[in-house]
Structure 1
Amino acid sequence: MTAATLTRPRPSTEEAPRHSPAVAYQRVLHQAVRREFRLLAELASWAPADDACRTADLTGHADLLARILLQHHATERELLWPALFRGLPAREQDGARDTLAYWTSRAALLDHMLRDLSTTARQWAVAETIGARNAFARACTRLASTIDAHLAEEERELHPLLARYLTDTEWTAVSRAATTDLTGREQLLLVGLALEDACAIDRARLMAGLAPATRTAWRIVGRRNYRAFVVRLRGAPPAA
């Protein structure tokens, strides 16, 4: 994916607050997705090509990550960016309209790459050959690099606007309106992925934003299941 065919206007560069609930959420999710795609590329590169169980673990994790990111982009496109636009002063709206259209187009290109990864994963599962495994590992490596560049630029360009103009009330409304096709187990895995490298402040914010039932489920079964999931996938427990 490149931005060669897109002209991207730059938003205002005036100083913005560093922290907001929306930015904190974006930050921990971005951090988790970056880490997991890098790890997935590394793990796939030396996995046995014909071990069906190992292939299922790795391709299953790729599928989960792809669905998380596709869902994240849908929430941004349908809820977050419109809410941000509504909060902008009139003087900012013309430039922001083009900026948000650019990011929607760029995220759509990344979504195509994520869907292509699912096809490559299925080909490995069926073929069980070194060539198919290597194709999957290369696809993960390309995605890890593309995602890192995409998210880094999004954080530079759009997070200052979120911090400056999206109110906590608007962010709460976005969070409540967002939908998911993740199962309960997958949602708890996402909590674990997001918490793993988060700083203490972001961990507290993330936990406070969860529904009470989800917080209880995380304490009772989620933390233990996440650890077992990571050990199975990586061969080592999570960092924290």
Structure 2
Amino acid sequence: MVRTVNEPMADVRDMFMAHTMIRREFRLLPQLVREVEAGDVGRAGVVADHADKVCLVLHLHHEGEDEVLWPRLLERGGERTAAIVPTMEEQHHGIDAALTEVTGLLAGWRTTARDGEALAAALEVLLDRLLEHMALEEKEILPLAEEYITAAEWAGLGEHGMANSPKKDLPLAFGMVMYEGDPATIKAVLSHAPLVPRLIMPLLAPRLYASHAKRVYGTPTPPRVGA
């Protein structure tokens, strides 16, 4: 790796924050689906819209790792990264397969509100794979990222997600992350944003998520991961 002296390295705290959001939303989804009465396409549409949003966040999150993180770790970390990155890549393949199953079932369920149990079961398979993957990533990969990935490169993960997300959904997505986010980490993330988003997002994003959660969960304060 060629970098300038004293170039800052990755601050991985935001990954823990993102993982908390992913754990929360995907843990709650199976029950949300099961609670929709057969044939209630209005309610199914609300839940399906939410599921679509979090599935896209997950897809872009992992796509960014595939494009930005794994190649650089393999290039720079020698035996240390060669021992773990292939496992991460294999787990991504398994998650992608489960995600494809979910999104396929979701499309039909949205319009019929029937066979919700199949969708809920597919979501539970996806959740199991996510929990295994994120735990291993936090234990093995994030310490390596702090050593081998620059802060600028790490920022590319977030930039990939923002560039490929509908712009109208970005404040809500940030609100999802902020809901259980560490204030110091949130401040650090926003410090790199332009002035207007840096000032507005701390006020706007939580309100958007509270409104969204009220519609999806029936409460602006859905159960937290640590609760």
Which consecutive unaligned segments of at least 5 residues does structure 2 have?
Answer: 1-8
- How far 1:42 sits from its partner (Å)? 1.9
Q: Offset at 1:168?
A: 2.3
Task: Please list, as runs of the form range in 1=range in 2, the aligned pairs for 1:128-167 lying within 5 A after superposition.
Answer: 128-129=113-114, 132-167=115-150
Once residues 156 and 195 of structure 1 are traced to their aligned partners in structure 2, the CA distance between those partners, rounded to angstroms, is 23
In 2 relative to 1, CA 31–56 (structure 1 residues): closer, same or farther, beyond 3 Å? same
Q: For residue 97 of structure 2, what is the aligned residue in structure 1?
A: 112
Change (3 A) 1:22 1:178: farther
Match of 2:3? none
Name which of 210, 220, 224 aligns with 1:227: 210
Does residue 79 of the first structure (1) align with residue 68 of the second (2)?
Answer: yes
In 2 relative to 1, CA 143–97 (structure 1 residues): closer, same or farther, beyond 3 Å?
Answer: same
Report how far residue 189 of structure 1 moved: 1.3
1:121 aligns with 2:110: no
Match of residue 34 from structure 2: 45
Does the 8 Å CA contact 1:21/1:205 hold for their aligned counterparts?
no
Structure 1: segments with no counterpart, 5+ residues? 1-19
8 Å CA contact 1:85–1:96 kept in 2: the answer is yes
Q: Does the aligned pair in 2 maintain the 1:188–1:222 contact within 8 Å?
A: yes
CA distance in 2, matches of 1:38, 1:199: 20
Secondary structure of 2:12's counterpart equals helix
Change in Cα spacing, 1:185 to 1:217, as seen in structure 2 (3 Å) is farther
Distance 1:231 1:70, change over 3 A: same
Work out whether 1:31 is the aligned partner of 2:31.
Answer: no
**Structure 1 runs, 4 residues or longer, greater than 6 Å off:** none
Please give the root-mean-square deviation of Cα atoms over the aligned residues, in Å: 2.4
For the residues of structure 1 that align with 2:95 and 2:50, how far apart are their CA atoms?
Answer: 18
CA distance in 2, matches of 1:218, 1:79: 26
Q: Distance in 2 between matches of 1:238 and 1:62?
A: 18
Rounded to whole Å, the distance in 1 between the matches of 2:214 and 2:30 is 17
Equivalent pair of 1:55/1:125 in contact (CA under 8 Å) = yes
Q: Tell whether the 8 Å contact from 2:102 to 2:122 is kept in structure 1 after alignment.
A: yes
Q: 1:40 to 1:173 in 2, by over 3 A?
A: closer
For the structure 1 residues 42 and 63, does the alpha-carbon distance in structure 2 shift closer, same or farther, using more than 3 Å as the test? same
Post-superposition offset of 1:165: 2.6
- 1: CA distance, partners of 2:108 / 2:161: 32
Question: For the residues of structure 2 that align with 1:145 and 1:173, how far apart are their CA atoms?
Answer: 27
Could you say which residue in structure 2 is the equivalent of 1:59?
48
User: What is the CA deviation profile of residues 96-152 of structure 1, one whole-angstrom value per residue up to 9, with x for unaligned ones?
Assistant: 2352233122202201111110111122123332xx111112222222222112111
Count of aligned positions: 215
Give the distance between the partners of 1:54 and 1:153, measured in 2 at CA: 35
